[in-house]
Structure 1
Amino acid sequence: MSTFNWVFILTLTLFISRRIRCNSILSSDQSNQQQLDRVLKLPGQNFNVSFAHYAGYVNVNKESGRSLFYWFFEAEEDPSSKPIILWLNGGPGCSSIAYGLAEEIGPFHIEKDGKTLYLNPYSWNKAANILFLDSPVGVGYSYSNTSSDLLSNGDKRTAAENLEFLLKWFKRFPEYKGRDFYISGESYAGHYVPQLSQAIVGHNQKNGEKLINLKGFMVGNALIDDFHDHLGLFQYMWAVGMISDQTFKQLNIVCDFQSFVHASERCEKALEIADEEVGDIDMYSIFTPPCSGNFSRLNRLWRRRKSRTGLLRRSYDPCTEKHSTVYFNLPEVQRALHVHTTNSPLKWETCSDTVNENWNDSPRSVLNIFRELIHAGLRILIFRFFSIPLLFLFVYYISLGF
């Protein structure tokens, strides 16, 4: 064999061994980061849990330093056999940690003191592995090292960076790669969820394999089509007597075919009048007391009435958003969740006005994406109410493969 051949073989061998070693190091780094992300115990957690959970960051753009915060909960029992559900809240600009996790479907909810946790009996991690993501940057603990990024968020970049997050997250948690994967969310996630689903389907087709095994998605109380969503919202407020006939007519005239995100000045003024007429009523729960000074007295009356029917498991609390704001601003909580306090916002908020008010692209309808994904074979559910027990049953059936 010639000297050239020997040199070539030796060079190729060194290159391959170096490549294997680099991949091994990368895999080891990801495994180490997974363990670093593990949350051992939270402040105010006066109970033990049977499941592991992890919180931390995934960088989605090295150039500007954009990093998204996640909190992942394994299923209570046999997580290796359960699907994964990604939960996204909307806004745009609202935190999935604040609402989806701490107030709705997550395992940990917050007591009235803002310092103590209790277990949610309807947590979705009883039936599936649940991944909560704060997206885009500027929401919750998610951040960018480039401040102008908070002024340039929009639908396209959010979908692209949510996909980037997932690809890197599955490298950090390779044991979940190939698992049945679903996406769910509410409100403006009516945009996020189908747009991310479309990005995943496109990415899988481009690579010729299901790198993310997306099976379907679910959106609730979702913004999907501006015209019909406006129409339905105005009819609802008028039908239950929250706005006057005059305001109802005005809304339908000046907000007709208007964008929810970029409404005209006339539409904004009509919406302000409607808001004044609605007054101190919780739009998400109109038959229960709002979070106000009269809450204590009204809550006692409401609780007595409801307890007779056997429908109430805990005292109803309309102020859960306030409790979340207190809890997630506690320094000891942020340390337990591995929050990068030097990069993330100084004050944690349930929703970011900066992100919301500076939103760029937002199509007036995503129905075309729904049509595309139905033909792609995805399972899709749209709901217009929020019943935690009912949705828990739906998630349970997903976990069984129905």
Structure 2
Amino acid sequence: MTRRLDPGAGWYGEFLRRDPEGMRACLDGVALPPWDVLESLLLDLPGAPGSTAREAAYAAGLRAAAFAVWDVRPEGARELRSQLAAAAGQRAAAEEAVRTLTARLDATADPERAQTLSRELAWTHDDAARAASRQADLQARLSALPLPAVPRQRTPFPTPRPASPPAAPTTPQPAPHEPPPTADPTGATLAGAVPPGAVPARVAPAAAAPAGAVPPGVGPVGAASAGGARGAFVDGLLMLREQGRSGEAHALLCEAARWPAGELPGLAEELGHAGLAADWATLLWEAASLPPDRLAAAAGALGEAGRQDDAARLLRQGVARPAVEVAATALALGAAGHDRETRALLEAYVRLRTADETAALARHDPHWLTPRLLRAARALSANRHRDLAHALRAAGLPAA
């Protein structure tokens, strides 16, 4: 595969630049590459549309066959346990960093500082998701080893990520040294590398839970049994947390973020009562990548349920998205009569983005957006209002 890639560009070039020894270890068969490394290289492969999915399935099969042999070596179980402990430590550290950065982002009023924190937060979320993905993959491989009396089970492998970048955040790539790449327990520091121009992508959860591992009824259902579904979801999440199956827990949170908007307030209550406030914060982060209409619906539902702080946090996390998506979210909120959430979104945008970026946002519907953005700027400070009015005039838009 690497013979078909440019060693000076894309993911392959970035991996070689950041960790040539780790990449060489994988190429020489001294170490098995993590799935997200293979996945990233696959995204760079030239070929016809649809070929990536076929090649990803083929690569996943080869990798499964490779670690079916690799893991049964005399030192295999010990190595897996060591790597699993390292992945768990990386996930815990990344999740703690996410909480710290989120609090700092919420507290800052400086646009440049907010952009820096948003970029760092995106990378840190990516680190946490990658560590959770690896933890689930390693746990599945380790669990398959104590089964000598039965035919060896084929260990599940991670599902490929989509080729498109995540909807949020879409901030510029940080400098190569910020933050440092996630260390791979095998010695390769390949997990956090991102090619020039890319953004941290949410990592698809690694191994899916085996059949029956998660209690049934954890998906969205009709209103009549919504409470039962939420309860089953929380019970399943608690079980996975207690068993250290964080990758599968993250997969459930990603799924729940896409439940109908009306389910979210009740889910927040259930998670809070269960002591899973950190998981609710993760769910909100994942919900920030919903399409604009669904993001607006989620924020509106939270606001109507009296969870204005959650709605505002969800919208703040969405302001790093492209201007066209932020505009669509604001328009959807306005059309649904969610004026408070519309103000929260636009005030966050004015506070966290430059005056020129805010003027560019107004272009998507000058008649509707311009007066609201000016009111949002005035609510923040006279200087912010003056700067935006100047940027609007320079862009040829009305500033009154």
TM-score by length of 1: 0.23
- Give 1 or 2: higher helix fraction: 2
- Give 1 or 2: higher strand fraction: 1
